[in-house]
Copies of this chain bind each other. A is one copy, B any other.
Amino acid sequence: MREIHAITELRDALAKERAAGQSVGFVPTMGALHDGHLALIAKAREDCDLVVVSIFVNPAQFDRRTDLASYPRDPEGDSRIADDNGVDLLFCPSVEEMYPDHYYTYVFVEDLSAVLCGSVRPGHFRGVTTVVAKLLNIARPDIAYFGEKDYQQLVIVKRMVADLNMDADIVGVPTVRDADGLAISSRNTLLNATEREDATVIPRALFMARDMAGRRGVAASRIMERVRMAIGEEPRVRIEYLNVVDPQTLRDVRQVDDKALVAVAAYVGEVRLIDNIMVGPGA
């Protein structure tokens, strides 16, 4: 595995590979690599000749400085994990490399960025779409992989790529969960043992929602009420938002006729977690 820090170096390395007919799979990450990332890397490994992983904790997508400061970082561990899992190129640019002085350009996806996480994290998705646009332009992959755990991000990135006529396929990879159901996230490492236990109420509530909505016509309000009650049993878990939405438009649905996404954000102590599940007879 080759580790690269400069944009031009990655570009040159990839230009050679592309000229030799190699297809490029790209997994953008913020590091602290875990089994969720490994599922993305495995899929890229399966589909493409060359696997590029980026590690960049993107300041532009953090709405709070403290969140940026406490975001887990483990460059040596990440490098070892990437190497062990068949990554060919690991791209670790500095903040100055990505956002030099007089950096002014932002990419924004209206409408889809205003709901769910967008409604509580101002500027978050603008930061995500901007850095993803940059990374896609730098790596020019055939396929880029994103986890369905960040479902809204996946929908927004797909829309950006289609709207801006970017030339990459965006592929979503199913959420990876621990044995107790908790969706794997870099932020899970910030939970203490009690919080870790408490947090499992989130996937339990979502699985219950899926079971409820197996038949046509279940009201979104009923699903949300039951999910709120279930999560409410853990007093240290505070729901930030809970919505039942159309998986494409991310707009609230009133009842689940085909497929709908139940999306939740919750604080467990000071740690904000998100999760989602596809429900309905079409799910």
Contacts and interface: CB of A to CB of B under 8 A. Distances in A.
B108 A106 contact: yes
B137 A167 contact: yes
A103 B110 CA distance: 9
Interface stretch (A32-40, A156-164, A185-193, A216-224): A156-164
| A interface: dominant SS | mixed
Contact of A159 (B105, B111, B112): B105
A15 to B, nearest CB: 10
Interface string A92-112: 000000000011111111111
Interface string A187-206: 00000000000000000000
Nearest to A98: B165
Contact of A112 (B104, B109, B112, B133): B104
Given A137-B166, A164-B134, A164-B137, A108 B109 contact: no
Interface residues of A, number: 28
Nearest to A135: B165
A134 B166 CA distance: 8
Most chain-B Cβ atoms within 10 A of its Cβ — which of A111, A159, A163?
A163
22 contacts: A7-B165, A104-B111, A104-B112, A104-B159, A104-B163, A105-B107, A105-B108, A105-B159, A105-B160, A105-B163, A106-B107, A106-B108, A107-B107, A107-B108, A108-B108, A130-B164, A133-B164, A134-B163, A134-B164, A137-B165, A137-B166, A140-B167
Interface of A: 7, 11, 102-112, 129-130, 133-134, 137-138, 140, 159-160, 163-167, 249
Given A104-B163, A108-B108, A130-B164, 12 more contacts: A11-B167, A104-B109, A104-B159, A105-B107, A105-B109, A105-B110, A105-B129, A133-B164, A134-B164, A134-B165, A137-B167, A140-B167
